[in-house]
Amino acid sequence: MQIDIDHLAMLSRLALTPEEKVKFSAQLGDIIGYIEKLKEVNVDGVEPTAHATPIFNVLQADDPRPGLSVEDALRNAPVQRDHMVVVPRVVE
């Protein structure tokens, strides 16, 4: 399977160097190749499922619990202002 590394890098908002592109293309190719092996398994008559365990309806009652303080919530943000995370200006 062909990997479009430029497309993937764009979707992931990653700026890759030419060397990285070669390196990651190969790594991703290996992973995809490994997954491709699954195609060899005969799944005729097997119902598609997203989960292997037959567990349904894992639900919680709507009872609020305390969350993080603003200080904790923003602890990992390199830049912050007015209790908010600051990122480079983005307008879609």
Partner 1 sequence: MTYEAVIGLEVHVQIKTRSKMFTRVAAGYGQPENTLTDPTVLALPGALPVMNKAAVDAIIKAGLMLGCEIAPVCKWDRKNYFYPDSPKNYQISQYDQPICIGGTVEIELPGPARNIQGEHKGIPLTRIHLEEDVGKLNHGVGGSLIDYNRAGTPLMEIVSDPALRSADEAYAYLQSIRTSIVYAGISDCDMEKGQLRCDANISIRPVGDTKLGTKVELKNLNSIAFVRDGIAHEIARQIAVTKAGGVIVQETRDYDGIAGTSQSLRSKEMAHDYRYFPDPDLMPVKVDADWKARLAAELPERPFDKQRRFMAAEADGGYALPYTLASVLIPDRELSDWFEQAAKLAGAGRAQAVGNWIVNDLLRELAASATVLATAKVTPAALAELVGLVAAGTLLQHSAKEVFADMVATGEAPAAIVARKGLAAAPTDTAELETWCRDSIAANAKAVAEFKAGKESALNAFKGAIMKAAKGKANPKAVDETLRRLLAAL
Specify the amino acid at residue 29. G
**Which of the 8 DSSP states describes residue 41?**
S
Least distance (Å) between residue 21 CB and partner 1: 18
CB of 10 to partner 1, least distance (A): 9
Q: For residue 81, report the phi and psi dihedrals to the nearest 5 degrees.
A: -155, 140
Residue numbers of the site for partner 1 (CB under 8 A)?
7, 11-13, 50-51, 53, 55-70, 73-74, 79, 81-92
For residue 87, the minimal CB distance to partner 1 (Å) is 5
Burial of 24 (0-12, 13-18, 19+ CB in 10 A): middle
**Residue whose CB is less far from partner 1, 39 or 51:** 51
